[in-house]
Amino acid sequence: MTLSTEFVFLTTDVEGFRQCRETRSESGMTVILCKRGHIDLFLQGEMIRVSKDDMFVRIPTHGFKVGPYQYSEDYEFCQITVDATIFEQIMFDHMRVEPNWYAKQEYIKAHPIFHLNEPSIDFFNTYFRLMELQLKDRPSDYRNQIMMAVAKAATMEMLNYIDKLAVVKSANNGRESVNQSDYTFREFTRLLQQNPHQREVQWFAKKLDITPKYLSEICKERSNKTASEWIADITVSELKHMLRDTTLPIREVAKQMEFPNASFFCQYTKKHTGLTPNHFRKQKKA
């Protein structure tokens, strides 16, 4: 069984896994639950095995690709892949209330396989079934919003499971050693969460009492993205979120995001999304 829309891809077939890996998975978030047998995946220079009741997670920010793979004859699985834009929106909403969101992403990068207990497997199967039913139903004006809501809930469940593992510690709770560059990067992301409308690297560097060049070097080292790329990502995520709210006039969106005028806002949106605000809004309504 393979079902898909522009934003979500579901499959229980190895052919569907191959198709998704070649066309979608490198730019989206992929979660695979192994139900029987195993699959061996070449990842970050080594072969890893996903066995029965294991969940494999790859998120877009990781920057690595899944290489060659092989699976057992009795391999059974179910897979959810959501588009990177959905993942970005989930994390944008979550990072405002989650103090350890970056640490959790780093933990998933280092530990992409989770062995699930029975309640967690039931949760995953429930979310998968909800998405399957929605994709099998007739398309409606609400389907994308419903799929987004289910994808958000499933991602929150995954982050909640990481909490239960008690492996991600806060940088200031005294239970982990944090070097200066780690601390600076986390302070930068904290400031970014609190000031999503600030778009100048110099502003953040001044707050952190370092040079803009050094801030970008730290960001690049810690996340493979420069400070300006981080700022742009957060800004674009917010403007997309606000443009999806069709009750807000374009000028009001520009004003709330503290752009000097609607014309500059239009230029910025087109540069980073390829569409003007009006065209972006019309596309998402289609």
Domain final residue pick, 165, 192, 215: 165
> Is the pLDDT reported for residue 224 higher than 60?
yes
Q: Please report which confidence band the pLDDT of residue 103 belongs to, taking 50, 70 and 90 as the band edges.
A: low
> Is the pLDDT reported for residue 172 higher than 60?
no
Per the structure, the complete domain to which residue 223 belongs is given by 180-285
Q: What is the mean pLDDT of residues 91-117?
A: 72
> Is the pLDDT reported for residue 126 higher than 90?
yes
CATH number at residue 237: 1.10.10.60
**Domain co-membership, 7 together with 110:** yes
Mean pLDDT score across all residues of the chain: 81
**Domain co-membership, 53 together with 147:** yes
Q: What is the value of pTM for the model shown?
A: 0.65
**Domain co-membership, 214 together with 93:** no
**Domain co-membership, 156 together with 22:** yes
Helices marked H in 84-179 — which ranges?
84-95, 101-110, 118-136, 143-165
As beta bridge partners, residue 29 has: 82
The residues, ordered by sequence, that sit 6+ positions from 23 with a Cβ below 8 Å of its Cβ are: none
Helical pair 84-95 and 101-110, crossing angle rounded to 10 deg: 140
The residues, ordered by sequence, that sit 6+ positions from 283 with a Cβ below 8 Å of its Cβ are: 275
**Domain co-membership, 150 together with 194:** no
Q: Can you give the pLDDT at residue 171?
A: 43
CA distance 132 to 146: 12
Which residue type does 146 have?
Answer: I
CATH number at residue 68: 2.60.120.280
